[in-house]
């Protein structure tokens, strides 16, 4: 199937790495694995992060203009070269889809969205225009693919009751991470030398962008939690960078230079070696949708301690059986410290959890499984569309 792909929040070609960019790229790759032909329809970003109605109106008008132009461009192609389905990733009030409904309507093709969310409280507020635009796009969808179970409830009464709903576990291409896990000792020695770490002491890892808001809040909770563990032997390696770098360093400064090490921003292909070398991935995950770093760490055989926000419990098995990590009350530094202490004091348990994580990610969160689910979802959406009056 020929699929037009669009990500209004951040296109997969954006130069700044993020979880959204990573998921967009993974979705395109998964469709490729299922033998669909995917093309990026547009790089237009509809995001308004501050709640500016004037900007939202301008983005909506530009979006409508781009949609008309894109529809004309597609219609000028031979029928065999036109998209057969439009797929939009991540629709919500800050990043509505002004393109997909109009283009899919003009081309008479099904419209599918993934990771759509709707919050009724945004109606009439500073994001009212974006909220209405996102709701209209969701209502237009022939199929909705949920990556976070918490989003489903908010779609009731907004989505077409005839729309297909599909649950897709967040996923990654775990091959490179699993391969790195097999080279753990070698990679650990290399990174210890590069960043001044002691390979004999427990090694905590955080992988996150440094920006204001929830990311910075998570770093502050992490700093407060680590402050409660001064009596334990540990060191923290932080991978990531961003505009809030100074504030992040301030949040961790009291812990001492000997304990905190910064690796800066790293290319995606470098990340497996960082995960595989660590003993524990730690991230408070305040208001996190689910957290790609949590998946990546587990794919490299590393257990995690994370805040149980949003969809995090769907990617971290924190129950009594089949544990891959420990989940804590969101934003609770004392609870987070207690969970880290448990695993710092029990290396054997860390190893067992890491082994379980390797298996679970391969079985439930791998790109191969996701490709099959996405393939069935778009084919079902196309069949539903053909049957509609």
CATH number, domain containing residue 23: 3.40.50.2000
Phi-psi region at 233: left, alpha or beta (left = phi > 0; alpha = psi -120 to 50): beta
Copy the structure tokens of residue 355.
């082994």
Cβ pair 321, 351 in contact under 8 A? no
139 and 231 share one domain: no
pTM: 0.90
63 and 157 share one domain: yes
Q: Give the pLDDT of residue 321.
A: 62
CA 106 from centre of chain:
31
Closest CA to 28 of 297, 367, 294: 367
Cβ pair 131, 123 in contact under 8 A? yes
Rounded to an integer, what distance in angstroms lies between the CA atom of residue 144 and that of residue 160? Answer: 10
136 and 191 share one domain: no
Copy the structure tokens of residue 104.
């899919």
* 260-264 vs 280-283, strand pairing mode: unpaired
161 and 14 share one domain: yes
294 and 379 share one domain: no
Phi-psi region at 33: left, alpha or beta (left = phi > 0; alpha = psi -120 to 50): alpha
Rounded to an integer, what distance in angstroms lies between the CA atom of residue 136 and that of residue 125? Answer: 17
221 and 284 share one domain: yes
Copy the structure tokens of residue 83.
């998209």
Q: Give the pLDDT of residue 318.
A: 81
342 and 202 share one domain: yes
Cβ pair 149, 371 in contact under 8 A? no
143 and 13 share one domain: yes
Copy the structure tokens of residue 135.
């709701």
The three-point CA angle 309-300-204 to 5° equals 65
156 and 113 share one domain: yes
Rounded to an integer, what distance in angstroms lies between the CA atom of residue 86 and that of residue 74? Answer: 12
25 and 163 share one domain: yes
Share of residues in the chain with pLDDT > 90 (%) = 89
Rounded to an integer, what distance in angstroms lies between the CA atom of residue 59 and that of residue 213? Answer: 24
> pLDDT under 50 in the chain at which residues?
none
Q: Give the pLDDT of residue 149.
A: 86
Q: Give the pLDDT of residue 320.
A: 60
151 and 271 share one domain: no
Query: What is each CA distance from 178 to 168, 266, 313, 375, in whole angstroms?
Result: 22, 19, 22, 25
182 and 64 share one domain: no
Cβ pair 86, 2 in contact under 8 A? no
Instruction: List the domain range (segments joined by +) for residue 131.
Output: 2-171+366-387
Query: What is each CA distance from 80 to 77, 282, 382, in whole angstroms?
Result: 8, 49, 16
Q: Give the pLDDT of residue 385.
A: 87
Count of beta carbons in the 10 Å neighbourhood of residue 80: 7
pLDDT in tens, 210-224: 999 999 999 999 999
Q: Where would I find the H helices in the chain?
A: 19-33, 53-75, 100-107, 128-140, 151-155, 175-181, 184-195, 214-227, 245-252, 271-277, 292-299, 312-315, 333-344, 347-364, 367-387
Q: Give the pLDDT of residue 160.
A: 94
Number of domains in the chain: 2
């Amino acid at each position: 199937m020929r699929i037009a792909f669009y990500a209004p929040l951040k296109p997969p070609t954006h130069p700044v790495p993020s979880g959204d960019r990573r998921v967009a790229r993974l979705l395109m790759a998964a469709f490729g694995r299922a033998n669909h032909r995917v093309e990026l329809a547009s790089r237009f970003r509809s995001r308004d992060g501050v709640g500016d109605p004037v900007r939202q109106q301008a983005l909506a008008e530009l979006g409508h203009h781009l949609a008309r132009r894109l529809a004309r461009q597609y219609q000028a192609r031979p029928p065999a070269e036109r998209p057969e389905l439009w797929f939009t990733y991540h629709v919500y009030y800050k990043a509505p889809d002004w393109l997909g409904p109009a283009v899919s309507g003009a081309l008479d093709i099904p419209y599918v969205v993934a990771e759509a969310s709707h919050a009724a409280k945004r109606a009439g507020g500073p994001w009212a225009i974006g909220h209405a635009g996102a709701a209209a796009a969701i209502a237009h969808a022939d199929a909705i693919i949920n990556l976070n179970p918490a989003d489903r409830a908010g779609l009731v009464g907004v989505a077409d009751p005839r729309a297909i709903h599909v649950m897709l576990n967040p996923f990654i291409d775990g091959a490179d991470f699993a391969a790195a896990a097999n080279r753990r000792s070698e990679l650990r020695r290399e990174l210890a030398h590069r960043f001044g770490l002691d390979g004999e002491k427990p090694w905590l890892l955080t992988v996150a962008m440094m920006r204001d808001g929830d990311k910075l809040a998570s770093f502050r909770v992490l700093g407060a939690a680590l402050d409660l563990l001064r009596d334990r032997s540990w060191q923290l390696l932080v991978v990531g960078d961003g505009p809030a770098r100074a504030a992040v360093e301030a949040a961790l400064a009291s812990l001492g230079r000997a304990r905190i090490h910064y690796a800066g921003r790293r290319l995606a292909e470098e990340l497996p070696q960082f995960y595989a070398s660590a003993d524990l991935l730690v991230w408070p995950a305040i208001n996190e949708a689910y957290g790609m770093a949590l998946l990546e760490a587990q794919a490299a055989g590393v257990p995690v301690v994370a805040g149980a926000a949003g969809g995090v419990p769907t990617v971290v098995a924190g129950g009594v059986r089949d544990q891959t990590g420990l989940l804590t009350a969101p934003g609770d530094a004392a609870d987070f410290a207690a969970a880290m202490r448990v695993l710092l004091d029990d290396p054997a348990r860390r190893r067992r959890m890491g082994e379980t994580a390797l298996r679970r990610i391969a079985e439930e969160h791998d790109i191969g499984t996701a490709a099959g689910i996405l393939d069935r979802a778009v084919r079902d959406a196309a069949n539903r569309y053909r049957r509609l009056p």
